[in-house]
Amino acid sequence: MINLSVIAQLIVAISVIIVWVFRFDNIVKEFKQYELSDLTRALVGATKIALATLLITGIWYPSLVLIPALLMAFLMLSAQYFHFKVNNPWQKRIPSLFLMLLSLYIAAVTLNLIA
């Protein structure tokens, strides 16, 4: 039986890959709105895709999950900050909030803080 943490890992990883690969034009607009450089956007994107890859790999190698989950949660918290900074509506804030909470859930399960 697949546990909820593995499902959460897949949701976070696939969501990040979809947004950063297939909805990249939207990412470009958002980073311009936040007044962040193209280099920052590229570094954030590469980091998120690498972390997403590690979360998927962590299904078979659980020792790889904790750090990527915590780093992904941090990046989603950063996204919340920038949404707040430019006063985006709640609809734009909810996806990164949901992914942050899922990432924290993954980390908590990995640390055996919750079942």
Look at residue 59 and tell me if it is in a domain: yes
102 vs 58: CA distance, rounded Å: 15
Work out the mean pLDDT of the chain and round it to a whole number: 96
Residue 18 lies in domain? 4-110
pLDDT of residue 1: 56
Total number of domains in the chain: 1
Look at residue 46 and tell me if it is in a domain: yes
Q: Given 3-state DSSP classes, what are the helix, strand and coil percentages for the chain, each rounded to the nearest 5?
A: 80, 0, 20
Look at residue 73 and tell me if it is in a domain: yes
Look at residue 38 and tell me if it is in a domain: yes
Return the percentage of the chain with pLDDT > 70, whole number. Answer: 99
Give the predicted TM-score (pTM) of the model: 0.93
Q: 75-84 — which CB contacts under 8 Å span 24+ positions? A: 75/44, 75/47, 75/48, 75/51, 76/100, 76/103, 82/30, 82/34, 82/36
Look at residue 62 and tell me if it is in a domain: yes
Look at residue 115 and tell me if it is in a domain: no
Residue closest to 44 by CA, chosen among 13, 84, 16: 16
Joined together, the tokens standing for residue 63 give 């020792």
Look at residue 24 and tell me if it is in a domain: yes
* pLDDT single digits (tens) 42-93: 999 999 999 999 999 999 999 999 999 999 999 999 999 999 999 999 999 9
Look at residue 61 and tell me if it is in a domain: yes
Residue 44 CA: distances (Å) to CA of 7, 32, 74, 104: 24, 14, 11, 19
